[in-house]
Structure 1
Amino acid sequence: MSGTAVDFPGVAAVVATYFDGLHFSDTSRLRQVFHPKAQYVCATDGTLLYRDMDAYFPVVDARPSPASRGEARRDEIVSIDFAGPVTARAVLRCSIGPRRFTDFLTLIRLEGRWQVISKVFHYDEEA
């Protein structure tokens, strides 16, 4: 966006906490970044997977963390775009087990902080 101040460092900090939350299966970190009304959506297998945060966090809590399995971290920010001073989208890549994810996170800035309001993602299985 030209002419408007954008907060790359603020969004990147939220993404770093997000990556840590995934790697350590730490919902206390994920709760810091996801808005309570955020949505979690995937259609990779041809059906709609939709969860709200009340359904998503128990899934994270129940799975062994990539860190506990000794998985190397493979996460990266592909891009961060801004629609305005309080709306952003981050395109990310990360891995958990044999799945390589591409995440589209939509973020909003409310109450003085960036929060993920939606996570829409696709994954591929590695051989």
Structure 2
Amino acid sequence: MQDTKTLIEARMKLYFDGLYHSDTERLGQVFAPGARYVCATGGEVINLGLDEYFPLVDRREPPAARGEPRRDEIVSITMAGDRAALVVAHCAIGERHFTDLLSFIDTAAGWRIIAKVFHYDLIPAPQPQE
């Protein structure tokens, strides 16, 4: 049997693939029903359910379609008992460089994200030298 961190890493691959391809079918395999999407950047906190978040993903042009290089990584996985974990991850879409704090729980359907809290910084792409 695979160890817990390996199972979570497999979910994170689906998560990163879902973001890169703007694919809510993949993301739906990672998020638990009732999960929250919370942005902590800027003045007012954005707190959405999946029924509000997934349409945003569906409308966005996928980074893959723009030929963006993949820029995603798991920074850490911290276990809290046998059924909860916190994953810190980095990824980038366009000029937004995200730090994701992903709370995972072990459900009957496997490890799922129950809350995504994130911050992003705007980092412009390097300009060509003249």
TM-score, normalised with respect to structure 1 = 0.94
| Runs of at least 5 residues in structure 2 that lack an aligned partner in the other structure | 125-130
What secondary structure is seen at the aligned counterpart in 2 of 1:69?
coil
Matching residue of 1:42? 39
For residues 117 and 14 of structure 1, the distance between their equivalents in structure 2, rounded to whole angstroms, comes to 13
In structure 2, which of residues 65, 68, 72 is the aligned counterpart of residue 75 of structure 1?
72
For residues 43 and 33 of structure 1, the distance between their equivalents in structure 2, rounded to whole angstroms, comes to 21
What secondary structure is seen at the aligned counterpart in 2 of 1:40?
strand
What code does the residue aligned with 2:113 have?
V
Q: How far apart are residue 97 of structure 1 and its match?
A: 0.7
Could you give the per-residue CA deviations for residues 51-101 of structure 1, whole angstroms, max 9, x where no partner exists?
Answer: 100000000000000000100000000000000111001000000010000
| Runs of at least 5 residues in structure 1 that lack an aligned partner in the other structure | 1-5
**Higher gyration radius (CA):** 2
What code does the residue aligned with 1:17 have?
L
Matching residue of 1:7? 4
Structure 1's consecutive aligned runs of 4 or more residues displaced over 3 angstroms after TM superposition are: none
Q: How far apart are residue 46 of structure 1 and its match?
A: 1.6
Matching residue of 2:19? 22
What secondary structure is seen at the aligned counterpart in 2 of 1:91?
strand
